Amino acid sequence: MDDLIKLAPLDPPVLDVVRRRWSPRTFSDRPVSEDDLRACLSAAQWAASTYNEQEWRYVVARREDRKRFSKALACLVPKNQQWAKLAPVLMFSIGRPTFSRNGKPNPVWQHDVGLASGQLVLQATALGLYAHQMAGIEHELIRKTYKIPPEFEPVAGIAIGYIGRADDLPEDFRAAEVEPRTRRPLSETVFSDEWGHPGLIAEASGG
Amino acid sequence: MDDLIKLAPLDPPVLDVVRRRWSPRTFSDRPVSEDDLRACLSAAQWAASTYNEQEWRYVVARREDRKRFSKALACLVPKNQQWAKLAPVLMFSIGRPTFSRNGKPNPVWQHDVGLASGQLVLQATALGLYAHQMAGIEHELIRKTYKIPPEFEPVAGIAIGYIGRADDLPEDFRAAEVEPRTRRPLSETVFSDEWGHPGLIAEASGG
């Protein structure tokens, strides 16, 4: 499984969990302990949010718990079900688009759910786990399955587990699994004076 | 400044950067090095995103660079300007609400910007820095100031620096600065079967 350790080619060095984190589709049979899941969810809980709204909620299903897991798996789009059926844990993040204190629209509700899930995923990485986040979920089915109140909205799915082997995946997914991770150069992401003009910070690194 | 080390009261233990991260309004005069900023932005760059869209961009201004900093400061709502004027670095996250390959709406664009900014902020924490993220920004002024193309949207502001002293803040902000960090118990955040019913994971921890 060493070939599935895909360190981000980062200079200068960054947090080890950032370098190691990527989104596999293959997971081993090894179950994830409740303590480890609790640590991941606690890490999410302590993310920043506007007015400390904590707009995030999570629904969690472990594979050992067959009935719950089947319910969760059905809430993924068919393509994701093909590989996620072997993930030890499935979660959904759910957010609140309006402020709890006055019902007005919260312009950063989804951003804040992302902050929480980002901490969740890095905590998983610190524990030797991998997470694959998914936009491909069945929003209305999630709402119905978990009786989600109208003031909340499903955001994303997250599969979590120990890493498996690319060969164990359905054939369609194997090639992508061993591809290197790639990103835009920093000079196309970070600007100073105006759009499209990299600042000193991005220029000096060249990528 | 030891009283401004506010470790999240977490059991089980989580990543040190998650425990230490909080959002101060007081920053010391000490400038942030370009290498450290580059590390923070690189950490953002390697976040997960749907179809590897990397929906995020960042605009960065350092306080030493007075003209750029004034421009950035003016893009915060007045209340945030009061304290952020002393922050060594101001950034804005900007996202792309549509897929770059087909122009269709991307349902998780803001979530993915949150994933990137979450990694940015934890990287800052690892470097001994603190970040304060802000929803209170002037979206239209940011768009105009940085000539942001119509297919992108400003999301949030981020002030970054080394921590200062609560006493150096304008009086209105001092009390909040030394308040303990609080969060909902995990039992109100994590559900299994249906909404409002904590799963085993949350029940076992009691908060």
pLDDT tens-place values along chain A, 207 residues long = 556 777 887 766 899 999 999 999 999 999 999 999 999 999 999 999 999 999 999 999 999 999 999 999 999 999 999 999 999 999 999 999 999 999 999 999 999 999 999 999 999 999 999 999 999 999 999 999 999 999 999 999 999 999 999 999 999 999 999 999 999 999 999 998 889 888 767 654 443
Choose among B22, B113, B195: nearest Cβ to A146.
Answer: B195
Nearest by Cα to B183 from B19, B26, B4, B1 = B19
Residue B44, pLDDT > 70, answer yes
Residues in chain B: 207
> Chains A, B: CB contacts under 8 A, how many?
247
Query: Could you tell me if the ipTM is greater than 0.90?
Result: yes
- State whether A149 and B195 contact (CB < 8 Å): yes
Q: Is residue A15 part of a domain?
A: no
pLDDT of residue A67: 95
Phi, psi for A57 (deg, rounded to 5): -135, 160
- Alpha carbon distance B130, A98 (integer Å): 27
- Are A123 and A40 within 8 A, CB to CB? yes
B37, B93, B122: which to substitute to probe chain A, counting the most A Cβ within 10 Å? B122
B59 and A191: CB-CB below 8 Å?
A: yes
Of A52, A61, A133, the CB nearest to B48: A133
- Does B113 sit within 8 Å of A118, measured CB to CB? no
For B90, the closest chain A residue by CA position comes to A192
Digit-coded pLDDT (tens) for B99-151: 999 999 999 999 999 999 999 999 999 999 999 999 999 999 999 999 999 99
Cα–Cα distance, B59 to B71 (Å, whole number): 11
Domain count, chain B: 1
Say what the pLDDT of residue B32 is: 97
Instruction: Select the residue of B189, B195, B202 nearest A148 (Cβ to Cβ).
Output: B195
Nearest-CA distance A20 → chain B (Å) = 10
The answer to whether residue A53 sits within a structural domain is: yes
Indicate whether A185 belongs to any domain: no
Length of chain A: 207
Q: Which residues of A touch B115 (CB under 8 A)?
A: 114-115, 117-118, 121, 133
Residue of B17, B47, B156 lying closest to A111 (CB–CB): B156
Q: Which of B120, B185, B206, B112 is CA-nearest to residue B153?
A: B112
Measured distance CA(A44)–CA(A98) in Å, rounded: 20
| Residue A32 within any structural domain of the chain | yes
> Which residues of chain B lie closer than 8 angstroms to A18, CB-CB?
43, 46, 119, 122-123
B184 to each of A42, A156, B181, how far by Cα in Å? 10, 21, 11
Q: pLDDT of B77-104, one tens digit each?
A: 999 999 999 999 999 999 999 999 999 9
- Say which amino acid occupies B16: D
Q: How many angstroms separate the CA of residue A137 from the nearest CA in chain B?
A: 11
Q: In what order do the strands lie in the sheet with B130-134?
A: A190-191, B56-62, B89-95, B153-161, B130-134
For residue A181, list chain B residues with Cβ-Cβ distance below 8 A. Answer: 46
Q: Taking CB atoms and an 8 Å cutoff, what residues of chain B touch A110?
A: 108, 110-111, 114
Partner residue facing B192 (CB), from A17, A59, A149: A59
In a domain, B199, yes or no: no
CA–CA separation, A60 and B90 (whole Å): 37
**Å from A168 to nearest chain B CA?**
22
Q: What is the pLDDT of residue A207?
A: 39
CATH number at residue B48: 3.40.109.10
Report CB contact under 8 Å: B155, A108: yes
Q: Tell me the CA end-to-end span of chain B in Å, nearest whole number.
A: 29
The residue in chain A having the minimum alpha-carbon distance to the alpha carbon of residue B8 is A46
- Domain range for B128 is 23-180
